[in-house]
Amino acid sequence: MPVNDKYSFHALWKFEDGLVIRHADLDEEIDPSYELLRLAAASFELELQEPFYNIYLDVYGTGIIDIYAPIMKVV
């Protein structure tokens, strides 16, 4: 895969603390899922690092996206 500013491949990816939400319906807008992550972080007094990571998973012939939001700090 050529190097560019939008996509990259990581053979191994280690997760630190973060929040995750599964966006299962690819026909729906993804912004409400981002907002749910922000609301959950606010309720637990967490500050998230943006942009979030969108992890595409091919499941049973269709796709879903796991959205990972790294936690920067507890407010």
For residue 34, pLDDT over 90 is answered with: yes
* % of the chain surpassing 90 pLDDT: 60
Whole-angstrom distance, CA of residue 15 vs CA of residue 71: 11
Residue 3: predicted pLDDT: 67
The one-letter amino acid code at 60 reads Y
Residue 1: predicted pLDDT: 55
DSSP 38: H
Stretch 28-45: mean pLDDT, rounded?
96
Stretch 51-59: mean pLDDT, rounded?
91
